[in-house]
Amino acid sequence: MTAHEIDYKIHGEEMQFVEIALDLNEGVVAEAGSFMMMDDGIKMETIFGDGSEKDQGFLGKIFGAGKRLLTGESLFMTAFYNILSGKRKVSFASPYPGQIIPIDLTQYNGKFICQKDAFLCAAKGVSIGIEFSKRLGRGLFGGEGFIMQKLEGDGMAFVHAGGTMAKKELKSGETMRVDTGCIVGFTKDIDYDIEFVGGIKNTIFGGEGLFFAKLQGPGTVYIQSLPFSRLAARVLATAPRGGGKDKGEGSILGGLGDLLDGDNRF
């Protein structure tokens, strides 16, 4: 194996975190901001890119880090190493309510494609790169543009799904249609394209967007019930504007309902 072999345990239900146990000199790489806690003896190091390749030279490091800019991520990642004997643990938390999905890349022929904000952490040696779309429709209307992230190697990686996760196994030629934001990731043999919803009423009044993601097997697809974009839109829709009060959620009376409830602060 080129990637470090790590042990892990996922804790929690709605707000999960993954606890990774490292032997001496083993390491894990993670996105900035996902760190939760670690034992004494764990060394933290900020690195260019994912650090999966050795002796790649200065230009190689710059190119590897630059690829991450295309996915909207930081140039840097954080690596955690165990520098003492015995197992030491480091934990990484979900960014919002949902589930952490362990991905064993050896079971998926060494490659898994995911949305750019789904990756959480991975064993040292796993390559976190970019996946370019070769189809114009997917790039223009797929929600994630021409670029998604790809995880390559023979180690463990962890991605995050918002809300409840659904795992679908598609047979050869079997297709399904999914909201573009609800895709977490899929295996490399999945054929992924964008399909127009169609119909004037659906287009104007449907409220579900103009395009679906069309996924065709064979392969495995992970789907999330709560994309962060949908969660953020709901929060913004109910946020007070201009420093005022909220909308009075659940009441058609709004401010009058607040008066009846005895809340007359304006």
What is the mean pLDDT for each group of 10 consecutive residues in the chain (266 residues)? 87 92 94 90 84 56 55 73 94 92 94 89 89 58 62 94 94 91 91 71 50 88 86 76 55 49 49
pTM surpassing 0.85? no
Q: Which of 34, 16, 131 is nearest to 79 (CA)?
A: 34
Q: Which residues contact 17 (CB under 8 A, 6 or more apart)?
A: 10, 11, 36, 91, 92, 93, 94, 100
Please report the pLDDT score of residue 216 as a whole number. Answer: 93
Assigned CATH for 7-238: 3.60.160.10
> Before 218, cis peptide (omega within 30)?
yes
Q: For residue 162, give the nearest of 235, 110, 214, 106 by alpha carbon.
A: 235
C-beta of residue 168 within 8 angstroms of C-beta of residue 221: yes
